[in-house]
């Protein structure tokens, strides 16, 4: 697959790092995340005792192994209630409709069968040479994709370096000291141990998740100049100046309906360990650095140098909240999301879950699932625009695995063709509505995910991907909606029953459904044109698109959240679903639908500037699309508000923990990713048929530079600005093509050949 890759010359820049001068006490708020795509780990950095918590993304409880009754949540024949529910809605008997839908259109699953993502365990590494350290530093270097801990004790210098190596599928923990000491390493897992073994410097733990029998193995390979032994359940290394621990892990999970089991995890680990044979630590590290930098260094962002690198990140965050201007911290936040994406979502791995790949619990919030009514999509918003298209791929593989079970759900719940998913999804084909109606009913999930498949094509213009992956997913999702929507009295197609995500009540048309389906049909039409296929289907998609109830403006000038004009102007609910058409959709734009865009603004103002982490992040993107950079920036600053609360707050507690992970609260990765996408959206937009430079530049970002963002069409863009005005831009293209460019009221239309680069001055005048 060809992707617009690193077409940027690296800017001479300073180090981009999070750092602290004390170890972490709390996993959620302070420990630092590393990963190799498959596995996520968090390190604390304790001097006497290091703790490294880890898991593999596929380790889950629940699913078919948990019960012979597991049936993907399907309530057979549920669709027989559909006409009655529709009749009740059409008669205005919403309570009765809600009662029946809650009983019949909800997933049927016994407690525990949905399951939850699981932590695999912890490594506790005790160091003999300890005491009060001098010059302690715990750091995450984003340029290298490496964590580190350094300190001195009694004249001896200690340094630990941690990273995840994706090509080798291994986590690497290196410990060095300038004098010899001893280490003792304890492997702990909350799961049942089937066997434990130590031979040839390799410790292995084989275990299983109790409720579903999912088997896994984790191996630790030790390289050291000291003596490595296994005694009393611990690995003891004596007289060592250097140790390197290579960690591999795998489970027997396979992403295949209906069993989801059968991977030869022992062979996978053995292969990974075999590949390490004869390689030095530095060689493995080099492999990681090449791989990581190949992705990370594609994008450079400079918003102004505030020389605050000497201030630890936790203090910096607090001072930022007190009003300090710190554009370096904003850059760091932006790049951190890219780091997290590279560390947790690579081809062949599980897709990002609510916490990416970082979960230390057997019972995590919202099961650490794939949540499709905003969260999973937001997790991938920055993928294309920030030049990490490859990191998007696990989402498509997962989507493909959901088609078959999703077709069964469509049949049994709605007697419809095509595939669906609803709000909560696990790795075991659960695509039914959730077991509670108000939060769980969201058949629009698959159609929304399909936007990602289309966008991956649109950003990269890879026709093979469109033909083989995106279009089949899109077409099947469209078939569902062609069957599901009904004609209302005015002749519009509406989604019925529907539920605006987690807000309002049952309805005969939630705006979000209509906007998502409009987007899907519109993308299907374009896909058919690009591929030159399915003319009949294309005509139908076009006709359906044009018959869907369009977004409506209500009594207080708002964009209606439902078909009926019932929005409450004082409601500040965190979901702002009806603005999907503004972002991430493109049905509403400032230029082409000014009235609707104004109505969206009224709604957004009504919802206010508060919210959970992801809600704040979404609002950054909305305001950017409304071309109000200052308002977007205000929300972005809120996203960086320091939070310590780890308990669930559904209303207004959003911000960042001191490790810069997004606080819903609790920790959810979606806000990090949404915030990163929002920064990109302030600097570059390409959804409305042209590439717009600095569409929503906040006043506070007076001068700066961005390199390597991607615009639809496969154009890689570099922009420089000063005094809040464009200075110059460079556009390069992999695939070639026509590229209309806009900056304020200036427009230019350029055509690039494959591989060509074009420079523009502040008047958009071109020079080669
Ligand atoms: C959606 C949101 C919640 C939370 C959950 C994981 O249901 O409404 O705020 O983020 O996903």
Atom of ligand 1 nearest to the CA of 502: 8
667 lines ligand 1 (CB under 6 A): no
Q: How far apart are CA 680 and CA 118, in angstroms?
A: 33
Ramachandran assignment for 145, one of left (phi > 0), alpha (psi -120 to 50 degrees), beta (any other): left
Q: What is the mean pLDDT of the chain?
A: 96
Atom 9 in ligand 1: which residue has the minimum CA distance? Answer: 650
Q: How far is CA 713 from CA 382, 457, 487, 629, 708, in A?
A: 16, 9, 36, 24, 14
What residues pair up with 197 in beta bridges, in sequence order? 204
Of 375, 647, 672, the one to substitute when testing ligand 1's pocket (max ligand atoms within 8 A of C-beta) is 375
Give the number of the atom of ligand 1 that is nearest the alpha carbon of residue 612: 9
Tokens of 641: 């508000």
> What is the structure's pLDDT at 4?
46
- Decide if pLDDT at 568 tops 90: yes
Atom of ligand 1 nearest to the CA of 365: 6
Measured in Å, residue 83 CA sits from the centre of ligand 1 at: 30
Q: How far is the CA of 439 from the centre of ligand 1 (A)?
A: 9
Query: What is the per-residue pLDDT for 5?
Result: 45
DSSP state of 350: P
| Per-residue pLDDT at 14 | 64
Quick check: 361 pLDDT over 60?
Answer: yes
State if residue 384 touches ligand 1 by the CB under 6 angstroms criterion: no
* Cα of 82 from ligand 1 centre, angstroms: 27
The pLDDT-based confidence of 307 (bands split at 50, 70, 90) is confident
Burial class for 277, CB neighbours closer than 10 Å (0-12, 13-18, 19+)? exposed
What is residue 768's predicted lDDT score, i.e. its pLDDT? 56
Task: Supply the DSSP string of 130-146, one letter for each residue.
Answer: -SS-EEEEEEEETTTTE
Rounded to the nearest whole angstrom, what is the distance from the C-alpha of residue 352 to the centroid of ligand 1?
15
**Are 103 and 122 spatial neighbours (Cβ–Cβ below 8 Å)?**
no
Contact (CB, 8 A) for 413 and 432 = yes
Mean pLDDT across the stretch 662-673?
98
* Per-residue pLDDT tens digits for 678-702: 999 999 999 999 999 999 999 999 9
Q: 674 alpha carbon to ligand 1 midpoint, in Å?
A: 14
Ligand 1, atom nearest to 375 Cα: 11
pLDDT of residue 741: 98
Contacts of 28 (CB under 8 A, 6+ apart): 360, 646, 657, 661, 666, 667
Q: CA angle at residue 197 from 195 to 198, to 5 degrees?
A: 170
Cα of 380 vs centre of ligand 1, distance in Å, is: 16
Residues 6+ apart with CB under 8 A from 673: 337, 340, 341, 352, 378, 379, 380, 381, 382, 617
* Among candidate residues 169, 35, 77, 67, the one with its CA nearest the CA of residue 428: 67
To 5 degrees, how large is the angle CA 459–CA 164–CA 147?
105
Q: Whose CA is nearest to atom 3 of ligand 1?
A: 650
577 CB less than 6 Å from ligand 1? Answer: no
pLDDT of residue 1 exceeding 50, the answer is no
Q: How far is the CA of 668 from the centre of ligand 1 (A)?
A: 9
- Please write down the HEC assignment for all residues of 441-496: CCCCHHHHHHHHHHHHHHHHCCHHHHHHHHHHHHHHHHHHHHHHCEECCCCCEECC
Question: Distance between CA 203 and CA 230 in Å, rounded?
Answer: 8
Is the pTM here over 0.95, yes or no? yes
Averaged pLDDT for residues 737-752 = 96
**How far does residue 404's CA lie from ligand 1's centre (Å)?**
26
Which DSSP category does 612 fall into?
Answer: -
Distance 641 CA to ligand 1 centre (A): 19
Helix (H) or strand (E) holding 227: strand 227-231
CA distance 3 to 457: 10
Q: Does 371 contact ligand 1 (Cβ within 6 A)? A: yes
Residue 117 corresponds to which tokens in the numbers above? 């993502």
Q: How far away, in angstroms, is 27 Cα from ligand 1 center?
A: 21
Which residues on neighbouring strands pair with residue 66, listed in sequence order? none
- Assess whether pLDDT exceeds 80 at residue 536: yes
Mean pLDDT, to the nearest integer, of 305-329?
93
Angstrom distance (rounded) from CA 245 to CA 203: 10
- The tokens describing 116, both together, are 């939850």
Q: Is the CB of 367 under 6 A from ligand 1?
A: no
In this structure, are strands 300-302 and 227-231 parallel, antiparallel, or unpaired? unpaired
- The Å distance, Cα 667 to ligand 1 centre, comes to 11
Nearest atom of ligand 1 to the alpha carbon of 501:
8
Adjacent-strand bridge partners of 241: none
Tell me what pLDDT residue 306 has: 80
Neighbours of 294 (CB within 10 A): 13
Q: Which pLDDT belongs to residue 12?
A: 47
User: How are beta strands 737-743 and 691-693 bridged, if at all?
Assistant: parallel
Find out whether the beta carbon of 612 lies less than 6 Å from any atom of ligand 1: yes
Model pLDDT, residue 308 = 86
Cα 575 to ligand 1 centroid, rounded to whole Å: 9
Give the torsion through C-alpha atoms of 359, 394, 378, 427, to 10 deg: -50
Residue nearest to atom 8 of ligand 1 (CA): 502
Plot region of 459 (φ>0 → left; ψ -120 to 50 → alpha; else → beta): alpha
Mean local confidence (pLDDT), 35-47 = 98
Give me the torsion for CA of 310, 311, 313, 319, rounded to 10°.
-150
Q: What distance in Å separates the CA atoms of residue 454 and residue 450, rounded to the nearest whole number?
A: 6
Task: Say which residues have a Cβ less than 8 Å from residue 713's Cβ, sequence separation at least 6.
Answer: 458, 459, 461, 686, 691, 733, 735, 737, 739
Ligand 1 pocket residue status of 355, Cβ below 6 Å:
no
Is the distance from the beta carbon of residue 503 to the nearest atom of ligand 1 less than 6 Å?
no
pLDDT band at 9 (very low <50, low <70, confident <90, very high): very low
From first CA to last CA, the distance across the chain in angstroms is 28
φ, ψ of residue 435 in degrees (nearest 5): -80, -5
| Residue of 487, 528, 494, 493 whose CA lies nearest to 508 | 494
Q: Please, what's the b/e burial string for 643-666 (b: 16 or more CB within 10 A of its CB; e: otherwise)? A: beebeebeebbbbbbbbbbbbbbb
Residue 425 Cβ inside 6 Å of ligand 1? The answer reads no
Q: Does any ligand 1 atom lie closer than 6 A to the CB of residue 375? A: yes
Q: Give me the pLDDT at residue 8, please.
A: 44
> Which of 369, 371, 372 maximizes ligand 1 atoms within 8 Å of its Cβ, making it the mutation to test the pocket?
371
| Whether pLDDT at 97 is above 90 | yes
Instruction: Among 614, 665, 669, 671, say which to mutate for ligand 1: greatest number of ligand atoms within 8 Å of CB.
Output: 614
Between the CA of 473 and the centroid of ligand 1 the distance, in Å, is 25
Q: Is the CB of 442 under 6 A from ligand 1?
A: no
Residue 669: what pLDDT? Answer: 98
**Distance of alpha carbon 551 from alpha carbon 561, whole angstroms:** 9
Residues 431 and 408: their CA atoms lie apart, in Å, by: 9
Q: Which residues contact 489 (CB under 8 A, 6 or more apart)?
A: none
The CA distance from 571 to 567, in Å, is 8
**pLDDT value of position 766:** 87
- Output the residue whose Cα is nearest ligand 1's atom 6: 366
The CA 371 to ligand 1 mean position distance, Å, reads 8
- Which H or E run includes 125? strand 121-127
CA of 573 to the centre of ligand 1 (A): 12
CA nearest neighbour of 643 among 605, 618, 621, 672: 672
Confidence of residue 330 (pLDDT cuts 50, 70, 90): very high
Q: 17 pLDDT exceeds 60?
A: yes
Best of 352, 366, 672 to mutate for ligand 1, by most ligand atoms within 8 A of CB?
A: 366
- The beta strands (E) that lie in 600-664 are given as 655-656, 662-663
What is the percent of the chain where pLDDT is above 70?
Answer: 98
- Kindly state the average pLDDT of the residues 623-643: 98
Instruction: Read off the pLDDT of residues 495-528 as tens digits, 9 standing for 90 and up.
Output: 999 999 999 899 999 999 999 999 999 999 999 9
Q: Please tell me whether the peptide bond between 584 and the residue prior to it is cis, using omega within 30 degrees of 0.
A: yes
| pLDDT score recorded for residue 678 | 99
Give 20 Cα–ligand 1 centroid separation in angstroms: 30
**CA 634 – ligand 1 centroid, Å:** 23
* 560 Cα: distance to centroid of ligand 1 (angstroms): 22
CA 696 to ligand 1 centroid distance, Å: 28
261 lines ligand 1 (CB under 6 A): no
Residue 203 dihedral angles phi and psi, to the nearest 5°: -100, 135
- pLDDT tens, residue by residue, 131-166: 999 999 999 999 999 999 999 999 999 999 999 999
3-state secondary structure of 515: helix
pLDDT value at position 13? 54
354 pocket-lining for ligand 1 (C-beta < 6 Å): yes
Tokens representing 267? 């062979």
What DSSP state is assigned to residue 714? T
* Average pLDDT of the segment spanning 332-337: 98
Among 664, 665, 667, 673, the mutation site with the greatest number of ligand 1 atoms within 8 A of its Cβ is 664
Contact between 450 and 395 (Cβ < 8 Å):
no
For residue 56, which of 216, 208, 188 has the smallest C-alpha distance?
216
């Amino acid at each position: 697959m060809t992707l617009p890759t690193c077409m940027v010359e690296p800017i001479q820049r300073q180090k981009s790092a999070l750092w602290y001068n004390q170890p972490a006490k709390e996993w959620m708020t302070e420990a630092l995340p590393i990963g190799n795509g498959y596995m996520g780990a968090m390190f604390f950095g304790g001097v006497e005792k290091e703790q490294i918590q880890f898991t593999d993304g596929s380790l889950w409880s629940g699913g078919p192994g948990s019960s012979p009754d597991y049936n993907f949540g399907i309530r057979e024949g549920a669709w027989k209630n559909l006409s009655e529910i529709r009749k009740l809605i059409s008669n205005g008997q919403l309570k009765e409709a809600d009662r029946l839908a809650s009983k019949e259109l909800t997933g049927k699953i016994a407690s525990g069968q949905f399951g939850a993502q699981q932590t695999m365990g912890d490594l506790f590494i005790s160091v003999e040479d300890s005491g009060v350290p001098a010059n302690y530093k715990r750091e995450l270097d984003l340029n290298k994709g490496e964590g580190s801990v350094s300190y001195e004790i009694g004249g001896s210098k200690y340094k630990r370096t941690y990273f995840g190596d994706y090509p080798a599928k291994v986590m690497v923990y290196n410990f060095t000291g300038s004098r010899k000491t001893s280490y003792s390493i304890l492997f702990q897992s909350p799961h049942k141990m089937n066997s434990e073994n130590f031979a040839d410097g390799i410790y292995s733990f084989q275990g299983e998740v109790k409720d579903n029998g999912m088997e896994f193995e984790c191996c630790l390979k030790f390289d050291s100049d000291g003596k490595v032994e296994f005694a009393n359940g611990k690995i003891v290394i004596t007289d060592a100046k250097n140790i390197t621990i290579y960690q591999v892990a795998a489970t027997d999970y396979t992403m295949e309906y209906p069993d989801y089991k059968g991977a030869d995890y022992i062979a996978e680990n053995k292969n990974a360990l075999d590949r390490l044979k004869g390689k030095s630590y530095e060689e493995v590290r080099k492999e990681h650095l090449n791989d990581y930098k190949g992705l990370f260094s594609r994008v450079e962002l400079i918003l102004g140098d505030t020389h605050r690198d000497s201030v630890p990140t936790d203090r910096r965050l607090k001072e930022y909240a007190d009003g300090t201007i710190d554009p370096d911290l904003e850059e760091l936040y932006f790049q951190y999301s890219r780091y997290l994406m590279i560390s947790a979502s690579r081809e062949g791995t599980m897709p990002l879950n609510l916490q990416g790949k970082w979960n230390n619990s057997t019972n995590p919030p919202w099961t650490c699932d794939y949540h499709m009514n905003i969260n999973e999509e937001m997790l991938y918003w920055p993928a294309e625009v920030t030049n990490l298209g490859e990191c998007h791929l696990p989402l498509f593989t997962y989507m493909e695995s959901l088609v078959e079970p999703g077709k069964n759900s469509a049949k049994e719940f709605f007697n419809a063709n095509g595939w669906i998913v609803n709000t909560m999804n696990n790795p075991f084909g659960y695509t039914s509505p959730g077991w509670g109606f108000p939060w769980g009913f969201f058949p629009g999930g698959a159609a929304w995910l399909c936007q990602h498949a289309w966008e991956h094509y649109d950003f990269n213009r890879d026709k093979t991907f469109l033909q083989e992956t995106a279009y089949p997913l899109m077409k099947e999702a469209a078939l569902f909606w062609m069957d599901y929507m009904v004609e209302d009295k005015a002749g519009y197609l509406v989604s019925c029953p529907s539920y605006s995500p987690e807000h309002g009540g049952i309805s005969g048309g939630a705006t979000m459904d209509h906007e998502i389906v409009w987007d899907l049909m519109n993308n299907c039409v374009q896909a058919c044109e690009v591929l030159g296929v399915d003319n009949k289907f294309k005509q139908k998609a076009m006709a359906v698109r044009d018959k869907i109830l369009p977004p409506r403006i209500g009594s207080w000038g708002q964009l209606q959240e439902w078909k009926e004009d019932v929005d409450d102007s004082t409601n500040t609910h965190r979901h702002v679903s009806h603005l999907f058409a503004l972002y991430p959709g493109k049905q509403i734009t400032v230029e082409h639908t000014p009235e609707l865009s104004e109505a969206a603004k009224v709604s957004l103002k009504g919802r206010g500037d508060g919210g959970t982490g992801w809600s704040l992040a979404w609002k950054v993107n909305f305001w950017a699309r409304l071309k109000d950079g200052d308002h977007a920036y205000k929300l972005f600053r809120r996203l960086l508000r320091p939070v310590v609360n780890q308990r669930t707050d559904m209303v207004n507690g959003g911000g960042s923990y001191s490790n810069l992970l997004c606080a819903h609260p609790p920790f959810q990765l979606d806000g990090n990713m949404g915030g990163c996408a929002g920064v990109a959206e302030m600097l570059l937009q390409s959804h409305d048929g042209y590439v717009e430079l600095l569409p929503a530049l906040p006043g506070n970002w007076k001068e700066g530079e961005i390199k390597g963002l991607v615009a639809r069409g496969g154009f890689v863009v570099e922009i420089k600005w000063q005094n809040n005005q464009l200075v110059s831009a460079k556009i390069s293209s992999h695939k070639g093509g026509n590229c209309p460019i806009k900056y304020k009221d200036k427009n230019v239309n350029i055509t690039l050949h494959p591989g060509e680069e074009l420079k523009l001055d502040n008047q958009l005048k071109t020079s080669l």
